[in-house]
Amino acid sequence: MQPIREESLDLTRLAELLQKEEQRNPVASAEDWEQARAGRKAFSAQVAALRRRIEALPRLADESLVKWSRQMLRISNLGFLIVDTTGTKEGSDILRLYLADRDGNALFDEIVKPERFPGNANTTYTGLSAAQIQAVPPLSTVWPNFLSVLDAHVIISYGWDFVSRQLTENARHYRLEPPTLIGECLLTRAKEYYGVSDYLRLSSICEWIHHPLPFTAPAPLRAKAQLAFLLAMSQGIMRLGDEEIDEHPF
């Protein structure tokens, strides 16, 4: 059986075929029907070729997500929250609390001693050294000031569930006031933006938008990376060629 050959798109031919079908007289004989059938088949082949070309076009950013990102950037008390921990499982200790404003400047930055896991800096991910977590205060010392800054801001965090879970578990373990988070999960929005269901690494997005992250990126760099992605989203940018992203437009 011979494979069906897909017809290549010819826009001039498509227009001519459409006009011919629009001007065709009603079928009055078997011959008319055969001619109309052949004409529709030729027209449908060109329409299918056009549809294939349209489907092959680069994905456009969803309008609702572009509008959402612009709205978030207009929030004057927007904050990007990073919570570094000794691990990803429940019961991990907080190592660093970092909150940046909508321009990427630090609002709160404290490294704390992991009392349940002494000396564990989770260096590969956090960029912190074992020495950096020695002569630092425990979480309980910095917690009241952290909550004060947190409560004054609308939060964006890449991995909201993880951040919320770690803050809540550490507060419960160390008998501290529970945190209240108001804001959005940037990871959830990123998955919607790129149309994926699996976990999407922030480092991958940063590569696509020409804001590369090093393999080990400390909290300030990850906060700025989140801001860079939000800015890209606000301009409908998904993957860049050689273009540059505009500076903060909102």
Residue 191: exposure state from Cβ atoms within 10 A (0-12, 13-18, ≥19): middle
Query: Per-residue pLDDT averaged across 25-45, rounded?
Result: 93
Q: How far apart are CA 57 and CA 247, in angstroms?
A: 27
* Secondary structure of residue 14 in the 3-state scheme: helix
Between 249 and 230, the more confident residue is 230
Model confidence band, residue 7 (pLDDT cutoffs 50, 70, 90): confident
User: Contact 225/58 with Cβ under 8 angstroms?
Assistant: no
* Predicted confidence (pLDDT) at residue 1 exceeds the cutoff of 50: no
**Amino acid present at 57:** L
Q: Is 94 exposed, middle or buried (0-12, 13-18, 19+ CB in 10 A)?
A: buried
63-234: CATH class: alpha beta
Q: How far apart are CA 23 and CA 43, in angstroms?
A: 14
Q: Where are the domains of the chain?
A: 11-55, 63-234
Question: How remote is the C-alpha of 130 from its chain's centroid?
Answer: 32
Give the pLDDT band (50/70/90) at residue 179: very high
Question: pLDDT tier at 248 (50, 70, 90 boundaries)?
Answer: very low
Matching residue, tokens 């400047």: 105
pLDDT for res 6: 66
Of 57-61, 94-98, 155-159, the least confident: 57-61
Across the range 181-208, mean pLDDT stands at 94
Q: How far is residue 64 CA from its own chain's centroid?
A: 13
Asked if residue 4 has pLDDT above 50, the reply is no
Q: Which run of H or of E encompasses 12?
A: helix 11-23
The whole-model pTM stands at 0.81
Query: Average pLDDT, whole number, for the chain?
Result: 91
Q: For the chain, what percent of residues have pLDDT higher than 70? A: 93
Share of residues in the chain with pLDDT > 90 (%)? 80
Q: How far is CA 106 from the centre of its chain?
A: 22
Asked if 79 and 85 touch (Cβ cutoff 8 Å), the reply is no
